[in-house]
Amino acid sequence: MTPAGSLLLAKDLRKSYGSTPALDGAEFSIHPGEVVAVMGPSGSGKSTLLHCLAGIVTPDSGSILYNGRELSSMKDAERSALRRSEFGFVFQFGQLVPELTCTENVALPLRLTGVRRKEAERTALSWMERLEVEDLGNKRPGEVSGGQGQRVAVARSLVTSPRVVFADEPTGALDSLNGERVMQLLTEAARSTNAAVVLVTHEARVAAYSDREVVVRDGKSRDMMLEHSV
């Protein structure tokens, strides 16, 4: 595989929050269907890298190519549209809207892209079946366990059939068994739809579900895939 075939390709990313550099020359690449773990100690800039890659945060310098298009030159509205339709997200906690039922939460990204409620909820339900949480449909996030909630979140990240799923410590708040199950379901579902997964984690056992890893240390990351191809 070469960088040319990358779905998402980032080079020399720099980003500071105030005077603190979060990213200081990071690189990254991912191919369709690939699961790449982003590893590193806390505070190393993993999450910032993910936010930049997903177009949530604009880097101070460097380039991010998604499907050949430069992310940082897109308008905010375009990037939002991209996130709605082609990206999916799973976070560690606090991501489900507490007032909406689980089904409504899963259907939310579809509804944001303008799909009608009935249809969106039908699609949502089929994804919930795949993640074995179809029974929770009418419950609210406050009424389900952490593992179940995280699976609902995974279902939500996949419901739009995204090209890239961004998962930031998706098992961070779960015990081993639940964490493993969530990872298994996430990677299987992603592989079956040929979605790429950017998996930020500091846990080796979670990273072991990936195809390869990129390590971030002090805001710097080296992507072996890019080095070997040079």
Can you give the binding site for another protein, defined by CB under 8 A?
41, 47, 51, 54, 56-57, 77, 79-85, 87, 89, 91-92, 94-95, 97-100, 104, 108-109, 111-112, 117, 140, 142-143, 168-169, 184, 202-205, 207-211, 213, 215, 217, 224
Nearest approach, Cβ of residue 4 and another protein (Å): 24
Q: Which is nearer to another protein, 133 or 156 (CB)?
A: 156
Nearest approach, Cβ of residue 70 and another protein (Å): 18
Q: Which is nearer to another protein, 5 or 98 (CB)?
A: 98
Task: Give the residue ranges of DSSP H helices in the chain.
Answer: 46-53, 76-85, 102-112, 117-130, 146-158, 176-192, 204-207, 224-229
Nearest approach, Cβ of residue 28 and another protein (Å): 16
Q: Which is nearer to another protein, 4 or 227 (CB)?
A: 227
Per the rule left: phi > 0, alpha: psi between -120 and 50, beta: everything else, 67 is left
In this structure, the chain runs to a length of 230
DSSP three-state, residue 106:
helix
DSSP three-state, residue 101:
coil
Nearest approach, Cβ of residue 17 and another protein (Å): 8
> Which residue in 61, 48, 56, 53 sits closest to 13, CA to CA?
61
